[in-house]
Amino acid sequence: HLFPKDGWGMLANNKIGDCTVASAMHCSMLFNKIVNQRVRFTDLDAQDDYSAVSGYVPGDATTDGGANMVQVCAYWQKTGMRDSHNKRHKIIGYLAVDHKHLERVFAAAYLFDAVKLGIQIPSSAERQFMDGRPWANVAGDDIEGYHDVPLIGRLANGNGVVVTWGST
């Protein structure tokens, strides 16, 4: 209920492999919203921070290989993510959560308001997302790549709520 369906923004993640930066920016939006502050990030903000942390050169697809989640968190802590008013949003720290214990992951998301998840994306995930359906395992699905999404909540049915591709 904190953001309308189109309120998160793609943050260039439909054009470049900056999901790690987009995820950090989405978390920053949430953290600010919780304390009644509005912060806005643009595709250009995301592209610039992605370039700084990964070496991406705009327009050169050979340099668009994504970014390491830990390196992005270190950058987020030291430098901060730049918003549309040129203000940097930093985190105090970050930690790893044992992904083999899902209840601990959900507890961490509850305690810290979000947990960045590194996930493998199967070929069916984009279609399910576009159809407005939750991601569900499809037997024999090929893995298309890796993706970083912030886990920001949990529904009554147990499903996690993540922000990805500009929506939840």
pLDDT tens for each residue of 94-132: 999 999 999 999 999 999 999 999 999 999 998 898 898
CA distance 28 to 33: 8
Q: pTM to 2 decimals? A: 0.93
pLDDT above 80: residue 2: no
In the chain, the percentage of residues whose pLDDT exceeds 70 is 97
Locus of tokens 């984009």 = 126
pLDDT above 70: residue 1: no
pLDDT, mean over the chain:
93
CA distance 167 to 1: 12
For residue 18, which of 153, 164, 167, 168 has the smallest C-alpha distance? 164
Torsion of CA 84, 86, 92, 98, to 10 degrees: 40
Among 50-54, 103-107, 161-165, the least confident range: 161-165
pLDDT above 70: residue 4: no
- Alpha-helical runs (H) found in the chain: 19-34, 43-54, 69-78, 102-112, 123-130
